[in-house]
Amino acid sequence: MPVICGKAYLGRLVNACIKFEGGKIIDIKKDIAGEKIDYGNAVIFPSAIDVHVHFREPGFEYKEDFFTGTKAAAIAGVTCILDMPNNEPAIISKKAFDEKVKKIKNKACIDYALYGGIKDKVEEMDCIAYKIFLSRDNEMFCSLNKLKEVLENVKKQGKPLAIHAELEDCISREKAKNLEEHNRNRAKQCEIEAVKKVLEINSQVNTKIHFCHITTWQSVKLINKEASVGVTLHHLLFSAESKFKIEAFGKVNPPLRNEEIRKKLYNEFLAGKIPILESDHAPHLLEEKEDFVSAPSGMPGVDALLPIMLYKIKKREISLDLLHKMVCENPARFFGINKGSIEIGKDADFIVIDFKKIDKIKPLSKCGWSCYEGVPCIYPKAVYLRGEKIVEDGEFIGDKGKGRMIK
């Protein structure tokens, strides 16, 4: 029965040993007899859960596939991801869902769950949650006229609903030539009004909902504790005024806002007002990003989120407690995943952090680039998935296909 020891995060840092068997934590004590791996002063911390990634399989494997995406996540300290249904074909039917499951099941390096999309009706699937868009960006568009019916049907399934909150009627479909114009086309009011409408309609239904990638402090205050809220690393760190190697690197939906709004959103994050930090990992090839007008929206991020935040902990910009809540505890609780904390009975998923070892972000995604490249970070010294070490000193040593699907 393996045992690892170090400064374990158990709500606070304490010297402890953790014993695990069959992929689960079975004992936590100051000392446990037997053969052990002692990490000394390194921190043993729950590994991250990223509730919002686009691993592009099926349909766009040339950008990312389930093996490359989960491998990149693992090296960056993420042992569980929730993959979105924006595939080709879109995952809006049980048939498409089951075919996706077959296609990816032998490729995942970490544990995973899948969203199901909704077009005209809510189909029963083994998904962890459903996803809709209030903007007409794909097949999963839901009009406000249909929203109450969708909320009621999702509630019957007993699963959460994730919402891309930008009102279609508010969006300008003019071609944007730069980040400022893209922000203007999909103005902050499109998000704020969408949030208001969703909360108003859901007050009659009370479905469990998660607002994805919120970009404004006004939306955060409106939602308060009425629903779950996610914020991305790129909306916290970048604005429409940021300079990128290629400007379309920063083209995302919803858009990067102006610097003033970014700072206010960041303050909400620091104050602990946003429950979940998510990457919205959405890779595209470099050549697809060269022309701003035609460039698809999205950027990679699952390979940067946790390492950058670990560096911010070292610099005392954020606390270990805040990070734990946003990438471990709250995602696990909201989506019903048996991970996210070092407790007896939980999955033995953890990372080992040497805060003395500072690195710089390097692209790990198949797409080969990152807006965060060169940013100071701390990569995990080791990563454990259900008690098995899958990353050691930045090298993936796990096995393709070992990841399990969570329903």
Residue ranges of domains in the chain = 47-337
CATH topology of domain 47-337: TIM Barrel (3.20.20)
User: Nearest Cα to 305, choosing from 213, 224, 397, 387?
Assistant: 213
Report pTM.
Answer: 0.98
pLDDT tens profile 123-135: 999 999 999 999 9
The C-alpha angle with vertex 327 and arms to 324 and 330, in degrees rounded to 5, equals 80
**Phi, psi (deg, nearest 5) at residue 273:** -85, -5
Q: Which of 280, 303, 349, 354 is catalytic?
A: 280
Residues 6+ apart with CB under 8 A from 168: 134, 135, 136, 141, 143
Q: Which of 115, 101, 59, 53 is nearest to 81 (CA)?
A: 53
Q: By the 8 A CB rule, do 20 and 50 touch?
A: no
Distances (CA, A) of 319 to 51, 54, 398: 21, 28, 30
Count of Cβ atoms closer than 10 Å to residue 236 Cβ: 21
Per-residue pLDDT of the chain (407 residues; tens, 9 = 90+): 689 999 999 999 999 999 999 999 999 999 998 889 999 999 999 999 999 999 999 999 999 999 999 999 999 999 999 999 999 999 999 999 999 999 999 999 999 999 999 998 999 999 999 999 999 999 999 999 999 999 999 999 999 999 999 999 999 999 999 999 999 999 999 999 999 999 999 999 999 999 999 999 999 999 999 999 999 999 999 999 999 999 999 999 999 999 999 999 999 999 999 999 999 999 999 999 999 999 999 999 999 999 999 999 999 999 999 999 999 999 999 999 999 999 999 999 999 999 999 999 999 999 999 999 999 999 999 999 999 999 999 999 999 999 999 99
For residue range 89-120, list pLDDT tens digits in order.
Answer: 999 999 999 999 999 999 999 999 999 999 98
DSSP letter for 136, please: S
Contact 46, 328 (CB under 8 A): yes
DSSP alpha helices (H): ranges in 299-357?
A: 305-314, 320-324, 330-335
Distance CA 5, CA 16 (A): 6
What's the CA gap between 313 and 327, in Å, rounded? Answer: 14
Burial label for 59, CB within 10 Å (0-12, 13-18, 19+), is: middle
The residues facing 17 across adjacent strands are: 5, 29
- Three-class DSSP category at 19: strand
Calculate helix-pair angle for 144-157, 188-202, nearest 10 degrees.
Answer: 50
Query: What are 207's two structure tokens?
Result: 């479905």
Q: CA-CA distance, 198 to 196, in Å (whole number)?
A: 6
Q: What torsion do the CA atoms of 127, 129, 135, 137 make, to the nearest 10 degrees? A: -30
For this structure, is 303 an active site residue?
Answer: no
Helical spans, DSSP H, in 131-258: 144-157, 179-185, 188-202, 217-223, 233-237
